[in-house]
Structure 1
Amino acid sequence: MEWYGNGSYETVLIPKVSFYFEGGVELEVDVKGIMLADDVKTVCLAFTAADDGDGAILGNLMQRTVQVVQDVEGRRVGFGPGTCA
């Protein structure tokens, strides 16, 4: 994704960000879930490490374009394309 702003950079390239899970499952985060922009000069990374380093939270920004499917009996979670309407 390219982003054009009024700051000292004309173009900002945001890399692909994915989470990899056991069983070969990849969850690619939509570019809108990687960076959070308050305005052109205030842009933050939309996620961080957990305090104890023992886990992670996939927040609502990352899940905006993801359908999460739970197989409780099979103890599995899957991801597919979806939207938050």
Structure 2
Amino acid sequence: MKQERISVHLAPKMERGLLVVSDPEIRKQLQLADLRFLYSRAHWLAHEAKVMGLAIKNGTMTTAELDAKLEDMGALDLVYPELMRCE
């Protein structure tokens, strides 16, 4: 059985923690796994946003609770600057 040598090394930009995979098929599989993860997180985020939106609309969550939830999710850094630009 022929063993293939797979080269994995750290990219020159170490501060970003990038890995370079030289085997095109393994790289493709890793990229597909990344996309599946991103897709599942997008679905989760959409679901959470819907649940929180319904809760604030129905009065089962206060605005302070919603701010705390958004802060826990790390969304405040993304949400408020974006909203402030929409003036």
Same fold? TM cut 0.5: no
**The structure with more helix, counted as a fraction of residues:** 2
Of structures 1 and 2, the one scoring higher in RCO (CA 8 A, sep 6+) is 1
**The structure with more strand, counted as a fraction of residues:** 1
Greater Cα radius of gyration, structure 1 or 2 = 2
